[in-house]
Chain A
Amino acid sequence: MKRLYFFIIGAFSLVGLWAIYYRLTEGLKMTALTSNVSWGLWVVFYIFFIGLSAGSFLLSTMVYVFNMKQYEKIGKVALLSAFFSLVAGLMFIFIDLGHPERFWHALVYRQPTSILSWEIHFYLIYMLIIVAELWFLLREDISRLVIKAKGFKKFVFKLVSIGYSIPDNSEKLERDRKQTHKWMKILGIIGIPTAIGVHAGTGSLFGVIVAKHMWNSGLTPILFLVSALVSGAALMLLLYALLVPKEKQDNTMLKSLGGLLILFIAVDLLIVAAKYLVGLYNYVPDERQVLLNMMFGERWYIFWVGQIMLGAIIPILLLSIKKGSSTLKALAGLSTILGIFCVRWNLVVPAYLESPMPGLETAFVHDRLLFEYTPNLFEWITSLGLISIVILLFSLALNSLPIMETKEGKEDNGETADGVQAI
């Protein structure tokens, strides 16, 4: 079963590598983008994954900053998925650049007036914080793995442990654990505003654009942030229900995660309602028309089926079944994540489909000057491939590191004692 899984996901990853190669050699003409719809599917995935990352990270701080012990079991997996989601988001924005080979320009030719320039720095700081947190959190486990593993695996683990080896007596171990605890808190405290900056900032990318009336609102960054929390909580619910064996699952944990998800969805719906209803009230054409097209136009289903059904109604119904099994909870999480993808789509693409100047759409007709956008097969394959690569890396990390186990759980098995004695 596990082998089959890795085989399939590995095959998809190879497709992803091919697609990246093809994209890098052939350029953006492989996409269905036009000069007027300048951002498409890849940018949708980029903000989707950055949101997933920020959401997961903020959930992990509940454990490490706010000491909510009941969520401790998802702390590690939250941080790990925050890391890999960020990697996925950055990969998507990388292949979306017209000149990916010049990505370093953003770090060298800084531009203080550009939010995108600030964001790139935020992403890097944020990534460093996550990596540092993960290292502190896992160093003990990894150094134990270094001792156990052999050959290539040992080398990899040694590399990842950055020279940390487990102390030889329990007193020092206790001291190191305390140090870890302290550092987790400090990094988490720095991390909270950074994570908020990462995703609210990504929302501001859109919020400041005066040319697109639909985005140009103070609510846009807030909407990004809240939907990030929704997707983060949904991912945690999905991962916990999926990865932890049924007999070991903690029902109160599932319940409280579900409650949290419902709360976030409710706040998200409130903000969406506020933003869209206010937008629909007046007759500002490039706001009202965009919203009408989005809700009742050709692609009405992305809003009603995707954003509302999958993203809100289905998860709330599934989670409110009193004796719902963990499979139902996992489904609720999955459905929310798909719904949030639709939210991201509707945040980006519809605003482009209205001509900024009436008549411009017929002034000069060409395939690359249309106000229409449907992602082509290549864009979908590339996206699928990139996501597979990240899922593969994530699965490998999950498979080789004790992410889903907690300290208490291990002490029950007597592993900690063994580990210390072995040294």
Chain B
Amino acid sequence: MEEKKITRKKFVITSLLGTLGLVAGELIRQSHSIDNIENEVDTENKKYGMVIDLDRCIGCNACTIACKQENNTPPNIHYNVVIEKEEGEFPNVYNSFLPRVCMQCDKPPCVKVCPVGATKKQKNGIVSIDYETCIGCRYCMTACPYGARSFDFGENYYDQPNTFEASPYQEYDKIYQRGKGKAPQNSVRKCHFCSHRVDKGELPACVTACLGKARFFGDLNDPNSEVSIKAKGSWTLKSNLGTKPRTFYLGEKRDD
């Protein structure tokens, strides 16, 4: 009996220590938490955002093609897609289009889970991926509620590429060229608002290519910018998840 008591005592101490460890861990996590970084209001930098007016979208997919061309993405990678749905009942049927880019969330769930900090929320509001650091664990793809990330499986990297495949292209601040085993193969890739173009003062390729002028891009920190004005009265996708997207939509609200 005597021995049992000690065991129980030790058990209690163990559990307490364990809980304490977990709490300490949680505290450390909280103290470094992404929320704190995010809450520092940074007015000096630009913070890019996009507004997509669904009432002006004609579903031509020019944005998708411009994006593929600009970022030289293989067929299995998509940065920009247009989700097409048939709605209504006969005879009042119509197609609805929902262009989906990366939402560049202010509270990005993908950045929070990355074990190596390869994907980051930049000061200009763009969520970037460092292809040289990414270990390819694909946890971020699991965490993205919008399916905005694709994994570069290294397919369509031929020994003898055609002229398009062989042409160099820029992503973030680096020049890449497709080749066997070269970056960004085996890493996760995503839309980055054509950050290399934005840095040069150009618009993202999809915005430039849009036929119906459905897309607006600019600095959300500037209250007088076109995008800030347009963003008033807009809505975001899956706002209930608290991800605070920086891609806004105008037009009839969709619940998904």
Task: Indicate whether A and B interact.
Answer: yes
- CB <8 Å contact, A366 and B75: yes
Given contacts A97-B136, A359-B83, A364-B81, contact A116 B113 (CB under 8 A): yes
What number of B residues sit within 8 Å (CB to CB) of A? 67
Q: A32 vs B58: C-alpha distance in the bound complex, in angstroms?
A: 35
B154 within 8 A of A: yes
Q: A97 vs B116: C-alpha distance in the bound complex, in angstroms?
A: 13
Q: Which of A349-375 contact B (CB under 8 A)?
A: 352, 355-360, 362-364, 366-369
Stretch at the interface among B21-29, B213-221, B245-253: B21-29
A112 within 8 A of B: yes
A98 within 8 A of B: yes
- CB <8 Å contact, A99 and B186: yes
Residue of B nearest to A215 (CB): B142
Over the window 142-185 of chain B, the binary record of Cβ atoms lying under 8 Å from chain A Cβ atoms (1 yes, 0 no) is 11111101110111000000000000000000000000000001
Q: Which of B179-204 contact A (CB under 8 A)?
A: 185-188
Q: List the B side residues contacting A197 at CB < 8 Å.
A: 18, 21-22
- CB <8 Å contact, A358 and B146: no
B225 within 8 A of A: no
- CB <8 Å contact, B100 and A189: no
Instruction: For B76, give its contact among A93, A106, A369 (CB under 8 Å).
Output: A369
Q: Which of A316-359 contact B (CB under 8 A)?
A: 352, 355-359
A418 to chain B, nearest CB (A): 32
Q: List the B side residues contacting A116 at CB < 8 Å.
A: 113, 115, 137, 139
- CB <8 Å contact, A98 and B78: no
Q: List the B side residues contacting A364 at CB < 8 Å.
A: 64, 78, 81
A209 within 8 A of B: yes
Chain A-chain B contacts (Cβ-Cβ < 8 Å), number? 182
Q: Which of A1-55 contact B (CB under 8 A)?
A: 27-29, 33, 35-36, 38-39
- CB <8 Å contact, A35 and B76: yes
Residue of A nearest to B237 (CB): A357
Listed residue (B28, B76, B133) with the most chain A CB atoms within 10 angstroms of its CB: B76
Listed residue (B34, B82, B150, B243) with the most chain A CB atoms within 10 angstroms of its CB: B150
A378 to chain B, nearest CB (A): 13
B14 to chain A, nearest CB (A): 5
A114 within 8 A of B: yes
Instruction: For A367, give its contact among B33, B76, B109, B133 (CB under 8 Å).
Output: B76
A287 to chain B, nearest CB (A): 13
A313 within 8 A of B: no
- CB <8 Å contact, A27 and B135: no
- CB <8 Å contact, B100 and A363: yes
- CB <8 Å contact, A97 and B135: yes
B89 within 8 A of A: no
Q: List the B side residues contacting A113 at CB < 8 Å.
A: 29, 32-34, 111-113
Q: A369 vs B147: C-alpha distance in the bound complex, in angstroms?
A: 10
Residue of B nearest to A212 (CB): B142
A103 within 8 A of B: yes
Given contacts A66-B7, A113-B33, A359-B83, contact A120 B64 (CB under 8 A): no
A196 to chain B, nearest CB (A): 6
Instruction: For A211, give its contact among B22, B100, B143, B186 (CB under 8 Å).
Output: B143
Q: List the A side residues contacting B64 at CB < 8 Å.
A: 364
B40 within 8 A of A: no
- CB <8 Å contact, B115 and A29: no
Q: List the A side residues contacting B29 at CB < 8 Å.
A: 112-113, 118
Residue of B nearest to A98 (CB): B136
Q: A66 vs B146: C-alpha distance in the bound complex, in angstroms?
A: 48
Given contacts A29-B153, A357-B147, contact A111 B115 (CB under 8 A): yes
- CB <8 Å contact, B142 and A28: no
B96 to chain A, nearest CB (A): 9
- CB <8 Å contact, A357 and B135: no
- CB <8 Å contact, A208 and B113: yes
Q: A96 vs B83: C-alpha distance in the bound complex, in angstroms?
A: 30
- CB <8 Å contact, B32 and A112: yes
Q: List the A side residues contacting B154 at CB < 8 Å.
A: 27-29
Q: A102 vs B117: C-alpha distance in the bound complex, in angstroms?
A: 13
- CB <8 Å contact, A363 and B150: no
Residue of A nearest to B241 (CB): A210
Residue of B nearest to A29 (CB): B153
A218 within 8 A of B: no
- CB <8 Å contact, A209 and B142: yes
Where the two chains meet, the residues of A that have a C-beta atom closer than 8 Å to any C-beta of B are: 27-29, 33, 35-36, 38-39, 65-67, 93, 96-99, 102-103, 105-106, 109-118, 120, 189, 192-193, 196-197, 205, 208-212, 352, 355-360, 362-364, 366-369
20 further interface pairs, Cβ-Cβ under 8 Å (given A116-B113, A116-B137, A360-B83): A27-B153, A28-B153, A29-B154, A33-B153, A38-B151, A39-B138, A98-B134, A98-B136, A113-B34, A114-B114, A114-B117, A210-B109, A211-B241, A356-B145, A357-B100, A357-B146, A359-B98, A360-B81, A363-B83, A369-B76
Where the two chains meet, the residues of B that have a C-beta atom closer than 8 Å to any C-beta of A are: 3, 7, 10-11, 13-15, 17-18, 21-22, 25, 28-29, 32-34, 64, 75-78, 81-85, 98, 100, 109, 111-118, 133-139, 141-147, 149-151, 153-155, 185-188, 237, 241-243, 256
Q: Please list 22 pairs of residues, one from A and one from B, whose beta carbons are closer than 8 Å in the complex, sorted by A's number.
A: A35-B141, A38-B142, A97-B137, A98-B137, A98-B151, A98-B188, A102-B133, A109-B116, A109-B133, A111-B115, A113-B33, A114-B117, A118-B29, A197-B18, A197-B21, A205-B139, A210-B143, A355-B147, A357-B83, A360-B147, A363-B83, A368-B155
